[in-house]
């Protein structure tokens, strides 16, 4: 059996599902009770009441019918009407009815009519249009006789009150259950919000509350968050301590090199060493920068992403470098809530890579209803699919031989970009550019 369609019809959220779990039993119970009760109980009660009414009517009918003349018949009718609490008119013309008039919700009226028709062979018409009264016409030898009596003598009064009561109580119970449910679900929602925020690098305060299971999940999450935060802090401290401590001897080295006696024999070596020292300084700067990134998160603001990408491309193409902007929304068309400096840095890193490893870069920004995608393509050698994950890791440089002539990178560009994009709830994908043959790096950001 395939229950996929059933699954698709189910509400997605916890609230919806909870409400359904609550409502389904209540509604079906009410349905069953209504059907059984109204069908059986009221039908029987009505039958019995109408049945005893029938006896009186039959007696009245036969007494009137057996009278010798019309005057005696009227006297007999009047004499019987008082003790039986009926109101009788003889003769009374039968009104022209189409069937039996009754109120549309008067279901017991059907039973009453049926019973009357069964028990009174000379019944001519029944009128139930006045909910409080039963009026009927009997054919006698002296013309039609109109008999009327209160409706509650023929059927239980106000059966719909039960329905109204049941629906009202049902609604009330649903409301109460919903309030309870909401209180139970709120801690789960708060936990989800906190987890999502933490994934984006924000720290939302969270107080443990709710049912035992939710509490323990919350506590476990708080533990985990604390551990991750401690790890990040330690990493940051370690990196900055190392970088900082390396700087001093490095400065001393640079100084020492510049004070070397000018001996033509070693001039080349000294130049090489100076270059290496500079390179090391650059690396240390990059490490320091990387380790500080987590600590200095600027607040997000409304930013024109199109403008940001356009600026990044303009900046990168300075000095005639081959960077091309292909698609980009009009200014003001794509305003997004993000940390502009960080996103700018991610885009810069991708363009920088494309220029360094791929000679030229083609940038485009496409927005759909739910995401904005910045992609940077190049015509270089690309990265083999099985090394994409590796390239995204910090401090990894792939295939150093091929990069040598282009200046060494630190191996942080992609991982910083990934970090930034993830902290905005987005992602960074690498694949092969179909058009240019090099790498296609794409940032997706939720709108
Ligand atoms: N567009 C590209 N084409 C081919 N290889 C690339 C491309 N972009 C990145 N790579 C490879 O992935 C590796 C990691 O890139 P990443 O940007 O993280 O570091 P990097 O460029 O070496 O150093 P940094 O960007 O920190 O200066 C690079 O060393 C390079 O080998
Ligand atoms: Mg790079």
Q: Which residue ranges make up each domain of the chain?
A: 4-160, 219-292, 301-446
Supply the pLDDT for residue 239.
81
- Give the CA distances from residue 139 to residues 5, 96, 124, 145, in Å, rounded to whole numbers and listed in that order: 62, 15, 6, 6
Q: Which of 414, 441, 442 has the most ligand 1 atoms within 8 A of CB, as the residue to mutate?
A: 414
Q: How far is the CA of 361 from the centre of ligand 1 (A)?
A: 14
**pLDDT digit string, tens, across residues 284-293:** 887 777 777 7
Count of CB atoms within 10 A of residue 433's CB?
20
- Dihedral of the alpha carbons of 168, 174, 179, 183, in degrees to the nearest 10: 170
Cis check for the bond before 91: say yes or no (omega within 30 of 0): yes
Per-residue pLDDT of the chain (447 residues; tens, 9 = 90+): 678 888 888 888 888 888 788 778 878 888 888 778 777 777 888 889 899 999 999 999 999 989 999 899 999 999 988 888 899 988 888 888 778 888 887 878 888 888 899 988 889 999 988 888 999 999 988 889 999 999 888 887 666 677 788 888 888 988 888 888 888 888 999 999 998 888 777 778 888 888 899 999 999 999 999 999 899 888 888 888 888 888 888 889 989 888 888 888 888 888 888 888 888 888 888 777 777 776 566 778 899 999 999 999 999 998 888 999 998 888 888 999 998 888 999 999 999 999 988 888 999 999 998 999 999 999 989 999 999 999 999 888 887 655 555 566 778 899 999 989 988 889 999 999 988 889 999 999 998
Question: Which CATH number is associated with domain 219-292?
Answer: 1.10.287.130
**Is there an atom of ligand 1 within 6 Å of 329 CB?**
no
Torsion region of 55: left, alpha or beta (phi above 0 gives left; psi -120 to 50 gives alpha):
alpha
Question: Would you state the structure tokens that stand for residue 306, as one six-digit string?
Answer: 């199109």
- Looking at the CA of 398, name the nearest ligand: 1
**Is there an atom of ligand 1 within 6 Å of 426 CB?**
no
**pLDDT digit string, tens, across residues 152-179:** 888 876 666 777 888 888 889 888 888 8
- Looking at the CA of 361, name the nearest ligand: 1
Looking at every residue in the chain, the average pLDDT score rounds to 86
Residue nearest atom 12 of ligand 1, based on CA coordinates: 391
Q: Are 145 and 89 in contact (CB under 8 A)?
A: yes
Q: Which of 351, 409, 412, 437 has the most ligand 1 atoms within 8 A of CB, as the residue to mutate?
A: 409
Q: Which CATH architecture does the domain made up of 301-446 adopt?
A: 2-Layer Sandwich (3.30)
For the entire predicted model, the pTM comes to 0.60
């Amino acid at each position: 059996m395939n229950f996929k369609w059933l699954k698709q019809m189910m509400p997605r959220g916890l609230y919806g599902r909870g409400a359904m779990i609550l409502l389904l039993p209540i509604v079906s119970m009410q349905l069953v009770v209504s059907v059984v009760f109204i069908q059986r109980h009221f039908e029987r009660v009505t039958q019995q009441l109408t049945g005893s009414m029938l006896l009186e009517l039959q007696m009245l009918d036969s007494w009137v019918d057996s009278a010798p003349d019309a005057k005696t018949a009227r006297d007999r009718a009047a004499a019987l009407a008082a003790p039986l609490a009926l109101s009788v008119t003889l003769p009374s013309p039968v009104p022209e009815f189409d069937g039996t008039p009754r109120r549309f919700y008067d279901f017991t009226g059907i039973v009453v009519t049926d019973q009357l028709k069964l028990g009174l062979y000379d019944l001519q018409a029944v009128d139930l249009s006045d909910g409080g009264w039963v009026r009927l016409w009997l054919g006698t030898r002296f013309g039609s006789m109109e008999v009327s009596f209160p409706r509650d003598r023929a059927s239980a009064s106000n059966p719909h009150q039960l329905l109204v009561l049941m629906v009202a109580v049902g609604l009330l119970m649903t409301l109460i259950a919903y309030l309870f449910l909401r209180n139970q679900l709120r801690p789960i929602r708060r936990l989800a919000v906190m987890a999502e925020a933490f994934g984006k690098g924000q720290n939302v305060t969270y107080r443990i509350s709710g049912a035992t299971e939710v509490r323990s999940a919350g506590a476990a999450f708080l533990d985990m968050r604390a551990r991750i935060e401690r790890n990040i802090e330690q990493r940051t401290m370690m990196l900055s301590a190392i970088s900082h401590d390396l700087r001093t001897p490095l400065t001393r080295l640079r100084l020492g090199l510049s004070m070397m006696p000018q001996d033509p024999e070693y001039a080349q070596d000294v130049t090489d060493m100076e270059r290496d020292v500079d390179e090391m300084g650059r690396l240390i700067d990059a490490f320091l920068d990387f380790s500080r990134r987590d600590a200095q998160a600027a607040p997000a603001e409304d930013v024109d992403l199109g403008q940001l990408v356009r600026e990044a491309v303009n900046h990168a193409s300075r000095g005639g470098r081959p960077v091309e902007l292909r698609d980009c929304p009009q200014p003001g068309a794509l305003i997004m809530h993000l940390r502009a400096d960080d996103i700018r840095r991610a885009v810069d890193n991708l363009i920088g890579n494309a220029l360094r490893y791929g000679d030229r870069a083609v940038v485009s920004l496409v927005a759909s209803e739910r995401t904005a995608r910045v992609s940077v393509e190049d015509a270089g050698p690309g990265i083999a699919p099985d090394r994409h994950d590796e390239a995204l890791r910090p401090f990894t440089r792939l295939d150093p031989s091929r990069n040598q002539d282009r200046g060494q990178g630190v191996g942080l560009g992609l991982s910083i970009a990934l970090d930034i994009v993830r902290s905005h709830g987005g992602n960074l994908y690498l694949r092969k550019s179909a058009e240019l043959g090099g790498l296609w790096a794409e940032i997706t950001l939720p709108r």
